[in-house]
């Protein structure tokens, strides 16, 4: 049999990428909607951090189970279930009258979107040649990050014009429509369409051990667990800033509007998206994962260090540094190829789930902890029903992120890479 035509492979990937884009949009919405959510649900900074983190709690909780289940059921079923649950969660969030119900909606969205990345990488291994894995991983991250960009200034403008609830409800309806398209069109493997699979037959047809056996097996390979901790710092800090606290910091410390602050964080997300495929392309050509990852992480550390030391520096200085740091953060996409090459092919989904869990563990801890730090240093100022925090409070929160990020990079530096031919 011949391998599948590129247009068919692209269709399968495109359906997966569309759901990933939707989930990233929902992940970032609390940043742009922070004033609305704090006002409508009477939230403090800690309360807003917890509401946003419900997404990450659920996302992280499903990572390892998703990795093991997708190896058995296939990615198409995971995407179908995820799109249905995400659509329902979005409608619950949009219609919520209390923070508890809103948190439930966010948790459903997070759990549903939690299947997306692991399932997408599984789909890529079946529909694309192995030499394109890191490049496709980066491109997938870039498309997903477009959803985060849409959750910046475009969402803020639409929320101002139409109300945030109607926009979130509309996104839920679109997710349900995507579920229908996935059910009709997506297939796990080219063999189901009469073409040759890019996954070796021995790996595709190998008998599966129990889920418990797979979990015990992955414990024998240290890199996936180490890379999960690395991602908790590199990607966790990035998400904590762009996904929630960057907009309040920029608007309150520099006196710019929420829309202007959202534009800056949207730019950071664009550079993060650009970094993913470019670091992936460099990694594929170099046939190495660790070196490009270290370079990107070091660039991110430098940018965040300047921000932490001088958060009141002119935006003409800070914005380019934040953009460069975001580009460097895009190198985190290499962690998945790194982990994939550190464990047997039959454990690929499990290894990917472990690594991706680290991303969410970092964010779900960092978001509420930064909120607690801000509230502990709050001086009592309130404007329009929204708490205002001074420079020292934001600086303390940034220092917490910086320390975690530095520890993650040290761990990456001592992680061993298996050399590939």
Q: What is the mean pLDDT of residues 67-80?
A: 85
- Structure confidence by residue, pLDDT tens digits, 391-400: 999 999 999 9
pLDDT at 49 over 90: no
CATH of 6-413, one of 1.20.1250.20, 3.10.20.740, 2.40.110.10, 3.40.640.10: 1.20.1250.20
- Cα separation, 354 vs 192, whole angstroms: 29
- Cα separation, 25 vs 174, whole angstroms: 12
pLDDT at 143 over 80: yes
Quote the pLDDT of residue 202. 41
- Structure confidence by residue, pLDDT tens digits, 255-286: 898 888 888 988 898 898 888 888 988 988 88
Q: Can you spell out the DSSP letters for 264-318?
A: HHHHHHHHHHHHHHHHHHHHHHHT-SHHHHHHHHHHHHHHHHHHHH-TTS-HHHH
pTM of the model: 0.71
- What are the residue ranges spanned by the domains of the chain? 6-413
Residues whose CB falls within 8 Å of the CB of residue 342, separated by 6 or more in sequence, listed in order: 221, 223, 224, 351, 418
Report the first-to-last Cα separation within the chain, whole angstroms: 27
Residues whose CB falls within 8 Å of the CB of residue 343, separated by 6 or more in sequence, listed in order: 218, 221, 223, 224, 350, 351
Least confident of 70-74, 88-92, 121-125, 397-401: 70-74
Tell me if 146 sits within 8 A of 273, measured CB to CB: yes
| % of the chain exceeding 90 in pLDDT | 41
Instruction: Choose among 283, 87, 305: nearest CA to 177.
Output: 87
With 0-12 CB in 10 A as exposed, 13-18 as middle and 19+ as buried, what is 101? middle
| % of the chain exceeding 70 in pLDDT | 94
Q: Can you spell out the DSSP letters for 55-100?
A: HHHHHHHHHHHHHHHHHHH-HHHHHHHHHHHHHHHHHHHHH-SSHH
Tell me if 31 sits within 8 A of 247, measured CB to CB: yes
- Cα separation, 100 vs 184, whole angstroms: 35
Band (pLDDT 50/70/90 cuts) for residue 215 is: low
pLDDT at 221 over 70: yes
pLDDT at 207 over 70: no
């Amino acid at each position: 049999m011949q391998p599948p035509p590129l247009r068919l492979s692209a269709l399968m990937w495109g359906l997966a990428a569309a759901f990933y884009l939707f989930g990233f949009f929902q992940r970032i919405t609390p940043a742009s909607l922070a004033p609305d959510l704090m006002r409508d649900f009477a939230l403090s900074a800690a309360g807003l951090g917890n509401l946003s983190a419900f997404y990450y709690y659920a996302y992280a909780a499903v990572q390892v189970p998703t990795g093991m289940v997708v190896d058995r059921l296939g990615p198409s079923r995971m995407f179908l279930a995820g799109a249905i649950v995400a659509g329902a969660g979005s409608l619950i969030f949009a219609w919520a009258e209390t923070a508890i119900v809103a948190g439930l909606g966010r948790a459903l969205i997070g759990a549903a979107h939690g299947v997306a990345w692991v399932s997408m990488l599984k789909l890529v291994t079946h529909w694309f040649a192995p030499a394109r894995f890191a490049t496709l991983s980066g491109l997938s991250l870039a498309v997903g990050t477009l959803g985060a960009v849409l959750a910046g200034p475009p969402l803020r403008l639409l929320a101002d014009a139409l109300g945030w609830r109607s926009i979130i409800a509309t996104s839920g309806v679109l997710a349900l429509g995507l579920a229908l398209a996935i059910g009709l069109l997506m297939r796990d493997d080219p063999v189901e369409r009469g073409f040759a699979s890019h996954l070796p037959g021995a790996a595709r047809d190998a008998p599966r051990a129990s889920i418990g056996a797979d979990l015990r097996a992955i414990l024998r390979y240290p890199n996936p667990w180490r890379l999960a901790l690395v991602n908790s710092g590199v990607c966790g800090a990035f998400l904590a800033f762009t996904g929630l606290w960057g907009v309040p910091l920029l608007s309150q410390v520099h006196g710019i509007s929420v829309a202007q602050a959202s534009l800056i964080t949207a730019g950071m997300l664009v550079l993060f998206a650009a970094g993913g495929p470019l670091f992936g392309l460099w990694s594929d050509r170099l046939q190495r994962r660790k070196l490009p990852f270290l370079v990107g992480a070091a660039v991110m550390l430098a940018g965040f260090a300047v921000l932490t030391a001088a958060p009141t520096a002119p935006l003409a200085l800070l914005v380019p540094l934040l953009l460069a740091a975001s580009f460097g953060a895009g190198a985190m996409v290499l962690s998945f190829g790194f982990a994939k090459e550190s464990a047997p092919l039959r454990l690929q989904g499990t290894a990917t789930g472990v690594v991706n869990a680290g991303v969410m563990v970092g964010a779900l801890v960092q978001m509420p902890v930064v909120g607690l730090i801000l509230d502990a240093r709050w001086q009592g100022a309130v404007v329009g029903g929204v708490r205002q925090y001074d420079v020292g409070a934001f600086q303390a929160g940034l220092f917490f992120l910086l320390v975690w990020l530095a520890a993650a990079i040290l761990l990456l530096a001592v992680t061993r890479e298996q050399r590939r031919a």
